[in-house]
Amino acid sequence: MKRKFCFVLTFMFLLMNIVPISAQETSLPLQSEAVILIEENTGKVLYEKNSSQKMYPASTTKVLTALIALENADLNEVIKVGNEVYQVPLDASKAGHNPGDEITLKDLVTSLLLPSGNDSAFVIASYLAKKNTGNDSLDINSAMTEFAAIMNERAKEIGVKNSNFVNPHGYHNENHYTTAYDLALITREALKNPVFREIVKQPSANIGSESSPNQQKLSFRNRNLLLDSRNSNTYYPYATGVKTGFTDEAGECLVASATKDNLNLIAVLLNSPVDARWNDAKTLFDYGFENFQFHQVAKKGDIIDKVYVDKHSPKGPSELEVLIKEDYTGLFHKNDISRIQKTISWAQEPLVAPITEGQNVGEVTFILDGEILSKIELIAKYGIEKRTIWDVMFSINAIPYWCGGIGGVLILFTISNAIRKRKSRRGFHFK
């Protein structure tokens, strides 16, 4: 008997601690070690695996380098390439700059992002470090240290907390690391820049001009094969960017973006097996587009309730139509939309007249799985006057009281009259 009782208790305990699998708790067949999928406009995380794990970013570092360049120099600014390009390791990717070349900032950022030019990264870092310090004679090592400080400061402003950058290109260094989540934040910030968006979505680009002999003409193919329509195995029709990366230590990396049906998604995949990042990115994007959507939960001006108002004037309505003061649209898993709940709390219960048009009368709270999504003020659609003493005296509701009062007076009058007559008769008798 004791055994049965213990078994029942154990079973009940387990039932109490089972957490229902929500729509977001999905396991995708991904080979990358660390991944994250976010929606760009809201920053909402739609899927993640090891997204806070320390990882090496390789050339996806250049997303931050490009952002800093675009924020701190004019697009048409002409930059002269120096000997810093000789710092590029032999096995690193290059755009093909030579000392003495003159190149606009926009072309330099294009060279940084599409062919993943480490030489472009050195030129940008050296130029901006000298500009920031006001020292044109700054040596290359000091320039890299200065630019790394700029990178870390900008990353901190974005909200990055688990990253450290020591160079502008992502060539392997034990102290140069990030997380999938941090990279998603950086990319989200970079995509706010229209020039960055324009550059990273290009499958190919040509730079340089014939107007200046020092501006070398170069042609690039974007290393992001999601954008390459010639390759059906890797092409993704909704892809809009962003950046690839690879070192032996980091593995194959990819920061990608895609747009479909008003959803702008960002995917980060770190340490992927050879050629696995393309299908992993497609899997993440398909999951996001198929399962999530923006849904308008509340519309400004909608009537959310009709409620009785106490002490209202009989000349007007007795019930008040209550409006939502502002819109609320959220990004939801499609299966969660029908489960959104709302609760209303009134400023006073019951509502009491007088009430003026537009007056705050309460608040509606939208909730999903116990989490508060939004709280929105409720306002009166119209005014309701308070009843006066005259309204009370001459209202329909007062008729029974009037009848009772008149009836009472008549009864008293009848009784009084009867008593008076009786007294009158008694007095005549004694005479």
The residues assigned a catalytic role are: 59, 62, 116
Residues 6+ apart with CB under 8 A from 406: none
Q: Are strands 351-352 and 303-310 parallel, antiparallel or unpaired?
A: parallel
Separation between Cα atoms, residue 178 and residue 47, nearest integer Å: 18
Which candidate, 22, 53, 26, 113, places its Cα nearest to that of 270? 53
DSSP 410: H
Residues 6+ apart with CB under 8 A from 166: 144, 148, 173, 175, 176
Residues 6+ apart with CB under 8 A from 120: 95, 97, 108, 109, 111, 112
Which candidate, 184, 114, 112, places its Cα nearest to that of 147? 112
Q: Are strands 251-260 and 239-247 parallel, antiparallel or unpaired?
A: antiparallel
Other beta carbons within 10 Å of 95 = 26
Instruction: Please state, in angstroms and as integers, the Cα–Cα distance from residue 263 to each residue in 61, 254, 256, following that order.
Output: 25, 20, 14
Q: Are strands 341-346 and 371-380 parallel, antiparallel or unpaired?
A: unpaired
Separation between Cα atoms, residue 184 and residue 226, nearest integer Å: 18
Burial class (CB in 10 A: 0-12, 13-18, 19+), 245: buried
Write out the E strands in 311-418. 319-324, 328-333, 341-346, 351-352, 360-368, 371-380
